[in-house]
Amino acid sequence: METPKPDKLDRTKADTGLNISKKARVIAKIRGFADLEAESANWVCIQKPNGEDSDSVTVSFGEQPSSRKECYKLDYCYEQNEGNGIIFAREVKPLISEVFNGINATIVACGAKGSGKTRVIQGSYEEPGLAALAVDEILSISEKMGKSITISFYEIFQDHVYDLLDPKQQEVQILENGQGKIQLKGLSQVPVKSISEFQKLYISMHNSRKPVQKITMDLPRRSHKGLIVNVSPVSNFLPTGKMNFVDLAGYQDIRRKSTEGSIFVENTKVNKSIYTLFNVVYALNANESHVPYRESKLTRMLQESLGCKSKILMLTCLSPSFCQDSMYILPRSVSTTKTQTGSQMHSSTKKATGVASVVKGRYSLKFSVQVRKLFDEAIQSTKSEKMSQKVFTFLLLQWVSGNHSYVNLLGKSDRLKSKIQESSSSDMASTIQSLVEEQDDSPLAIVYQQETTESDKDSFLHTQENQGKITPNADRSLKDLSLVEERQIIDKENNHFLINKDMSPPLSERLQEISNNLKQLISSTPQCIEIPPKNDTSNIQACADIVEPKTPDGSMIVYEKWEIANMKSPWETFNMRSSGMKNSLVQEYLKLLNTGGKEDLKRLKGIGEKRASYILELREESPEPFKNLDDLKDIGLSAKQIKGMMKKEMECLFN
């Protein structure tokens, strides 16, 4: 094997002054120009304050507009003219002596697709990679000690580990024994005696990967590849040290790529395991109590070589010319060092340290489903009968602010409108009536509480009549407003929730609660609402003032008069209410993602079978994977797509 020049190779920890006491050292390597690449670009800029002896360097990307130029601090960055020999001598060789002392070391190459990871780790016959250089060194030390080494090769495809030394490439089981030791059941370990034997094996391993699954027959498979070198320690009292080399699958931003079928799943799994590795390294560097090893097979199988006293070298490979994915992956890999701020961490890292969940069990789901139903119904009804946006907004505000029990659903016909008008003697009906009048001929109808039972309504109306709050006319109109379709919806929901009865309170209880709220609200309406004169154009505003968007809690909301008095201008108030409405919608949307069943998820725009399944998978690993809309990126959606989806949900309300 061609060995790098001694002056470069012999530079170890002592003479380079490198600080390898840190858990993870994060470095980068700019790949040389490939054959067809223009050599003019100088896209990656490095600042080395003390040349190659710099404790840290700064990397930025030249193509970014200067105003948005971001710099990333790394432990070091190797340039195009610096080959594998130098990286080995400075970064890997110091770790080898640690491995002979029973300490595990892991060298991970990450980076965008085609950024040179394989070239650095595996190399070629002409220019051996870090793995081959390390095995060469380890073999020579072992030989002197009269010891031998064994190696294992594996591949992780779609979060399954396969043994590459096994002709059948059997799946490897990751087991943990009673003492918390990780065992890789089914992973072959073969002795290697010479570097040429190793090189032959290694290169053939990479080139002869069998398609593990049918779907990948025609497509290049995105997978992680790993090598484990088991090293006998210098003393029998020390444990066997391991040196791991991981050539991660190239990072590809799936938001900008096709998200169809199996490729979407494959890409998502690859990216997720990359993020998990970053999160693990981040947690280890930050000395966090919880390290999410279990979130991917890669980190789980490497647990013993990442945690404890292990050493980690994160090597981020960068394309020399413009590469959007490099701009994405570098900040993430950099965030594995302690010095980075939370904002640079991947969202799932943020999740790990984020605030506690505010989801309140199945109630959220029920509420979400109901909101959804409301939206669906609104879409249907407004298709044929143009609804006033303002009135609809008002009603929606009622709904999303948790005030289900007041005015519940948008109705459908002029007949209902006239019935509401007949009910003018009741406070509630008067309010509704003035709304209707305000909106000219809008065919608005308000459906009386959809979730209450007939007997609830009867008893409610009876009570109201006895209290002189509702006229017999109002009785009739309110009764007539019960729509058959709504009953069907409720029946469906009943069935749906019965399935989940172990996780949610019985629907009857919930209905009772809502019914009570309704009664309470109606009885308290005169105290809360100041009914404006009939022709007062601020009607809508005044009515909107009675609701304040809040996190729904199922209880009635009482509004103080000062809230009405303190309103600044109709526009400001409307604006405030709209923002509240939007926020509430987003919160409910997230709750649905965090708690909804597969079928519910599929009803959301942009979520099909695959994404719904993946969301469920994410939820198995983390109870609340969606904390903000940005987290939808984890299921392969771009910021633009997320915005578009939310816009569509909103548009549907008004079309």
Ligand X SMILES: Nc1ncnc2c1ncn2[C@@H]1O[C@H](COP(=O)(O)OP(=O)(O)OP(=O)(O)O)[C@@H](O)[C@H]1O
- Footprint of ligand X on this chain (CB under 6 A)? 31-34, 111, 113-119, 250, 317
The secondary element (H helix, E strand) that includes residue 87 is helix 84-87
3-state secondary structure of 435: helix
Q: Which is nearer to ligand X, 246 or 483 (CB)?
A: 246
Q: Which is nearer to ligand X, 33 or 322 (CB)?
A: 33
Residue whose C-beta lies closest to ligand X? 250
For 45, 80, 430, the CA distances from 116, given in Å and listed in that order, are: 18, 11, 72
Long-range Cβ pairs for the range 359-364 (8 Å, 24+): 359/591, 359/594, 359/595, 359/624, 361/503, 361/504, 361/595, 362/497, 362/500, 362/503, 362/504, 362/505, 362/595, 363/504, 363/505, 363/510, 363/554, 364/588, 364/591, 364/592, 364/594, 364/595
Q: Give me the phi and psi of 612, to 5 degrees please.
A: -60, -45
- Rounded to a whole number of angstroms, the minimum distance from the CB of residue 491 to ligand X is 53
Q: Which is nearer to ligand X, 121 or 184 (CB)?
A: 121
- Rounded to a whole number of angstroms, the minimum distance from the CB of residue 46 to ligand X is 16
Alpha-carbon distance of 411 to 571, in angstroms, equals: 27
- Rounded to a whole number of angstroms, the minimum distance from the CB of residue 213 to ligand X is 19
Alpha-carbon distance of 130 to 119, in angstroms, equals: 9
Q: Which is nearer to ligand X, 257 or 643 (CB)?
A: 257
Residues in the chain: 655
Cβ-contact 636, 254 below 8 angstroms: yes
Q: Which is nearer to ligand X, 272 or 577 (CB)?
A: 272
Cβ-contact 507, 369 below 8 angstroms: no
- Rounded to a whole number of angstroms, the minimum distance from the CB of residue 116 to ligand X is 4
- Rounded to a whole number of angstroms, the minimum distance from the CB of residue 197 to ligand X is 23
Q: Which is nearer to ligand X, 2 or 440 (CB)?
A: 2
- Rounded to a whole number of angstroms, the minimum distance from the CB of residue 118 to ligand X is 3
- Rounded to a whole number of angstroms, the minimum distance from the CB of residue 8 to ligand X is 16
Q: Which is nearer to ligand X, 116 or 331 (CB)?
A: 116
Alpha-carbon distance of 613 to 262, in angstroms, equals: 12
- Rounded to a whole number of angstroms, the minimum distance from the CB of residue 111 to ligand X is 6
3-state secondary structure of 222: coil
Q: Which is nearer to ligand X, 206 or 360 (CB)?
A: 206
> Which is it for the CA torsion 549, 551, 554, 558, positive or negative?
negative
Token output for 529: 């609402």
**For the chain, how are helix, strand and coil distributed in percent, rounded to 5?**
50, 15, 35
Name the residue among 138, 133, 113, 107 with its Cα closest to residue 27: 107
CA atoms within 13 Å, Cβ hemisphere of 260: 2
Q: Which is nearer to ligand X, 66 or 81 (CB)?
A: 81
Q: Give me the phi and psi of 353, to 5 degrees please.
A: -110, 5
Alpha-carbon distance of 59 to 326, in angstroms, equals: 12
Alpha-carbon distance of 299 to 292, in angstroms, equals: 8
Neighbouring C-beta atoms of residue 550, cutoff 10 Å = 13
Q: Which is nearer to ligand X, 114 or 307 (CB)?
A: 114
With a CB cutoff of 8 Å and minimum separation 6, the contacts of 87 are: 27, 29, 78, 120, 130, 315
Name the residue among 643, 375, 655, 407 with its Cα closest to residue 525: 407
- Rounded to a whole number of angstroms, the minimum distance from the CB of residue 130 to ligand X is 12
Q: Which is nearer to ligand X, 122 or 525 (CB)?
A: 122
Q: Which is nearer to ligand X, 118 or 230 (CB)?
A: 118
Alpha-carbon distance of 161 to 159, in angstroms, equals: 7
Token output for 570: 């109709």
- Rounded to a whole number of angstroms, the minimum distance from the CB of residue 443 to ligand X is 59
For 118, 299, 403, 573, the CA distances from 552, given in Å and listed in that order, are: 53, 39, 8, 20
> Which residue type sits at 15?
D
- Rounded to a whole number of angstroms, the minimum distance from the CB of residue 155 to ligand X is 12
Q: Which is nearer to ligand X, 80 or 453 (CB)?
A: 80
- Rounded to a whole number of angstroms, the minimum distance from the CB of residue 281 to ligand X is 19
Q: Which is nearer to ligand X, 115 or 401 (CB)?
A: 115
- Rounded to a whole number of angstroms, the minimum distance from the CB of residue 110 to ligand X is 9
- Rounded to a whole number of angstroms, the minimum distance from the CB of residue 273 to ligand X is 14
